[in-house]
C-alpha cells in the first residue's frame, strides 16, 4: 500500500503561507514597511497604484543586503532576526518569521533592488510566482526597493474577494499610519496614483500625530506620562469635548509595535468615566514600553494582539495615569475649595493704604427753614411750593393770545380717556384655538417613546424614533434623486476640521451631500467651509451629521450612485431623527403620525425595524376576559 502523506512543493507551501500572511494589499504594505524599519532606514517612501492591486512599492535608505542575502531572503523561514528559540522572548524588531517575502513572491510579480553602503554595485532580482526570472548586478543607491505588482495574479479567486478601491486604500492608509506613528524619527512619504498624500518629516510624537491628523488636532491633545517598574507610558489622549462616535483615532503601541487590546481600551474608557456622552469614543495615542520577556507576541498571526504577564497592574497604572492627566490639565471636574481669585486685591492697590474719607457737617442747617441752604454743603435746589406748578400752565385755558385762539379753534381736543390702544394679548400658542381642528382622534405620548392614536378598529402604537427615521429617509432620498433639495444659507460660514482620510471620503460624497442641501464654499486638505445646510439640520448638528456619516461609511462607499444615496440618507436620518426620551407636543405627535402614513413604506424604518403596531378592540377584550 502506497503512502498517502507527502511533502508539499515549495511553491504550494508558499501559497498556503500567503493565505495567512497576505490577506489584502494592506498586508503587503505592512510587511514591507516593517522590513524597512528593521533595516534602520531614516527615509521610507510608499508608492501605491490602484489601491495596491497594480503596484505596492517601498523604497528605503536602510542597510541593504548582500548578493547572498538578497537571494536567500525569499526562502521560507529565512530571517536575520533570531538565531535560537530563546530569542523569541527578547524581540526588538518587527518581522522575524521569515515568511513574508516568500509568501508575497508566491502570489505576485516581485522586483527587488538592494545595495549595501560599502558595496559599489547592487543586486536586481525579478521573481514571478516563486520562480526566479532574473538576477543581475546593477548600479543602485544605498538601501532596498521592493516592488510588488499584480497581486494575486495566479489566484484569481482571492483577487475577486478584494473590496473596492476605496475600501482597500483605506486599509493601506491605516497600516501606513500605524507604522508612521510608531516611528516619528523616520521620514515617511506616501504616494497614491501619482499624488502625494502624506509627507511626514522627522519629528516628535506630538508633531507626528498633528501631521497625520490635521493641524487642528494639536489643541485636542492632553499629554500622558508615567514611569514605573512594570511599564513606561507616554502619549496623548483627547479632551472629552472632542470625542467622536467612531473609534478611528485610537492607537496602542507596545515596544513600537501597534496592537489591539480590548482590555487596555476598557482602562482608557474607565479613566473617562463621567466625562463622555453615551456612545462617544475618545482619541488616544499611547506608547507603552515593557520588558520584552514580560510579553508574548506570538498569540496572533498578524502580531496585533499581545499577552501580558501582569495585565491587572497594567490596567490600573494606565487608568490612573490618564485620569491624573485629565485632572492635571483641568479637563476633569475637580472640587476646589480655594477662594475666588476675583475677590483678591488688584495688583496696583496691594501696597496702598486706604484713605479715610472727610465729612463736612453744616451745624446751622435747618430743614424747616425757608432760607436757602449754603451752596457749599448742598447741591440741590430749593423746591418751590407744591401749588406753583399751576403757574406753568397759565394762559393755556384763557384767551390770552388771539393767534393762539385761532390755531386752537382749528383742532379738536380729544379726551385721553377716549384714546384706544392696540392690545397685545398673550395666548400662549402660535395658533388660535379655532385654527387647531383635529382631523382625527387625539394622540398621546407614552414614556416619551411611543405615540398612541385611536382608530376605528382599536389603537395604533407608533415608535416615534423609527417613524421619524422613515420620514427623513424618504425626504432625503427624494431630494438626492430629484436634485431639488432646499438649503438654508448661513449668516456666517462654519469651518469643520477632519483628518486626511475623512476629507477623502467627504470629497467623494460631496455631490450627494450637495443634493441633500449642503453648500460647500471651500474644501482644503484638513477642513471644509460650509455656507448652507439642509432645512432640517441646525448649525450645531452639522458636525454631528457628518461625523455619523463618516462613521457609518468607514468600511467603504458603495460603488453605485443609488447605494451611495441610500447609505447617506440612512445615516442622516439616524442622526436627525427625534430620539427616544424626547417630549413631543400634541401638534408634533399628529404631524409625526400623519407624516409616517404618508410615506411609501410606513411599516418599517430604513433599518427594517417595525415603526408601529396595531391592537384591535378584540385583542383588548381578550386581555380582560378572565
Tell me the pLDDT tens digit for each residue of 197-209.
889 999 999 999 9
- Residues 6 or more apart whose CB falls under 8 angstroms from that of 372 comprise 382
Which carries the bigger pLDDT value, residue 376 or residue 307? 307
Question: In this model, does residue 347 exceed pLDDT 70?
Answer: no
What are the distances in angstroms from CA 196 to CA 33, 187, 337, 525, 526? Answer: 17, 14, 54, 12, 15
Report pTM. 0.69
For the cut 50, the answer to whether the pLDDT of residue 415 exceeds it is yes
Query: Which among 60-64, 274-278, 404-408, 490-494 has the top mean pLDDT?
Result: 60-64
pLDDT of 9 > 80? The answer is: no
Of the ranges 63-72, 211-220, 340-349, 435-444, which is most confident? 63-72
What mean pLDDT, rounded, does the chain reach?
79
Q: Write out the H or E segment, with its range, that includes residue 548.
A: helix 542-552
Which of 476, 455, 468 is closest to 584 using CA atoms?
468
What does the block give as the cell for 97? 518569521
Higher per-residue pLDDT: 91 or 70: 70
Rounded to a whole number of angstroms, the distance between the first and last alpha carbons of the chain is 78
Q: In this predicted model, which residue has the larger pLDDT, 229 or 433?
A: 229
At 178 the pLDDT is 92
Question: Residue 514 has which C-alpha cell?
Answer: 450637495
522-581 pLDDT tens trace: 877 778 888 888 888 888 888 888 888 887 776 656 656 667 788 888 888 888 888 888
Q: How confident is the model at residue 281 (pLDDT cuts 50, 70, 90)?
A: confident
Q: What is the mean pLDDT of residues 5-32?
A: 78
Domains and CATH numbers, the chain: 10-200 (3.30.565.10), 205-328 (3.30.230.10), 444-614 (3.30.1370.100)
pLDDT over 80 (residue 290): yes
Grid cell at residue 57: 512599492
Q: Which residues have C-beta within 8 Å of that of residue 248, sequence separation ≥ 6?
A: 499, 501, 554
> How many angstroms separate the CA atoms of 391 and 399, rounded?
16
Amino acid at each position: 500500500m502506497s503512502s498517502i502523506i507527502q511533502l508539499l512543493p515549495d511553491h504550494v507551501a508558499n501559497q498556503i503561507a500567503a493565505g495567512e500572511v497576505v490577506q489584502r494589499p494592506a498586508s503587503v504594505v505592512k510587511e514591507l514597511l516593517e522590513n524597512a524599519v528593521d533595516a534602520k532606514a531614516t527615509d521610507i517612501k510608499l508608492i501605491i497604484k490602484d489601491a495596491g492591486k497594480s503596484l505596492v512599492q517601498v523604497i528605503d535608505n536602510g542597510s541593504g543586503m548582500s548578493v547572498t542575502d538578497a537571494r536567500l531572503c525569499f526562502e521560507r523561514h529565512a530571517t536575520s532576526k533570531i538565531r535560537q528559540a530563546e530569542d523569541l522572548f527578547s524581540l526588538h524588531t518587527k518581522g522575524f518569521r521569515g515568511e513574508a517575502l516568500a509568501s508575497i513572491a508566491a502570489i505576485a510579480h516581485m522586483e527587488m533592488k538592494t545595495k549595501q553602503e560599502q558595496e559599489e554595485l547592487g543586486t536586481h532580482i525579478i521573481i514571478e510566482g516563486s520562480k526566479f526570472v532574473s538576477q543581475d548586478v546593477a548600479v543602485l543607491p544605498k538601501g532596498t526597493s521592493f516592488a510588488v505588482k499584480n497581486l494575486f495574479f495566479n489566484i484569481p479567486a482571492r483577487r475577486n474577494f478584494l473590496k473596492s478601491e476605496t475600501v482597500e486604500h483605506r486599509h493601506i492608509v491605516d497600516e501606513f499610519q500605524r507604522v508612521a506613528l510608531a516611528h516619528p524619527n523616520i521620514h515617511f512619504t506616501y504616494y497614491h496614483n501619482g499624488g502625494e498624500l502624506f509627507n511626514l518629516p522627522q519629528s516628535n510624537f506630538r508633531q507626528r500625530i498633528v501631521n497625520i491628523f490635521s493641524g487642528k488636532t494639536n489643541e485636542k491633545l492632553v499629554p500622558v506620562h508615567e514611569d514605573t517598574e512594570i511599564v513606561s507610558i507616554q502619549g496623548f489622549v483627547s479632551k472629552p469635548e472632542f470625542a467622536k462616535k467612531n473609534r478611528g483615532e485610537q492607537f496602542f503601541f507596545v515596544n513600537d509595535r501597534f496592537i489591539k487590546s480590548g482590555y487596555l481600551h476598557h482602562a482608557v474608557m474607565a479613566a473617562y468615566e463621567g466625562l463622555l456622552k453615551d456612545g462617544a469614543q475618545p482619541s488616544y495615542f499611547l506608547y507603552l514600553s515593557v520588558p520584552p520577556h514580560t510579553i508574548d507576541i506570538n498569540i496572533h498571526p498578524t502580531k496585533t494582539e499581545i499577552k501580558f504577564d501582569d495585565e491587572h497592574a497594567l490596567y490600573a497604572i494606565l487608568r490612573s495615569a490618564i485620569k491624573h492627566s485629565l485632572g492635571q490639565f483641568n479637563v476633569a471636574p475637580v472640587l476646589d475649595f480655594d477662594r475666588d481669585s476675583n475677590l483678591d486685591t488688584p495688583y496696583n492697590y496691594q501696597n496702598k493704604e486706604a484713605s479715610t474719607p472727610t465729612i463736612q457737617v453744616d451745624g446751622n442747617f435747618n430743614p424747616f427753614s425757608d432760607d436757602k441752604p449754603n451752596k457749599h454743603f448742598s447741591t440741590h435746589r430749593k423746591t418751590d411750593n407744591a401749588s406753583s406748578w399751576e403757574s406753568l400752565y397759565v394762559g393755556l385755558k384763557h384767551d390770552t393770545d388771539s393767534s393762539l385762539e385761532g390755531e386752537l379753534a382749528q383742532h379738536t381736543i380729544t379726551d385721553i380717556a377716549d384714546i384706544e390702544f392696540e392690545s397685545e394679548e398673550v395666548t400662549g400658542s402660535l395658533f388660535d384655538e379655532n385654527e387647531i381642528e383635529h382631523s382625527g382622534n387625539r394622540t398621546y405620548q407614552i414614556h416619551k417613546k411611543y405615540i398612541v392614536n385611536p382608530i376605528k378598529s382599536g389603537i395604533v402604537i407608533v415608535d416615534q424614533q423609527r417613524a421619524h427615521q422613515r420620514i427623513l429617509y424618504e425626504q432625503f432620498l427624494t431630494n438626492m434623486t430629484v436634485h431639488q433639495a432646499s438649503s438654508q444659507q448661513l449668516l456666517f460660514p462654519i469651518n469643520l476640521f477632519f483628518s486626511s482620510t475623512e476629507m477623502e471620503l467627504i470629497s467623494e460624497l460631496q455631490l450627494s451631500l450637495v443634493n441633500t442641501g449642503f453648500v460647500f464654499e471651500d474644501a482644503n486638505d484638513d477642513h471644509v467651509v460650509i455656507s448652507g445646510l439642509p432645512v432640517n439640520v441646525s448649525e450645531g448638528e452639522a458636525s454631528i451629521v457628518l461625523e455619523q456619516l463618516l462613521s457609518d461609511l468607514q468600511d467603504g462607499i458603495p460603488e453605485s450612485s443609488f447605494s451611495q444615496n441610500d447609505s447617506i440618507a440612512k445615516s442622516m436620518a439616524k442622526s436627525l431623527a427625534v430620539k427616544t426620551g424626547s417630549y413631543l407636543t400634541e401638534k408634533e405627535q399628529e404631524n409625526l403620525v400623519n407624516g409616517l402614513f404618508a410615506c411609501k413604506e410606513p411599516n418599517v424604518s430604513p433599518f427594517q425595524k417595525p415603526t408601529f403596531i396595531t391592537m384591535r378592540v378584540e385583542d383588548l377584550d381578550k386581555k380582560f376576559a378572565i
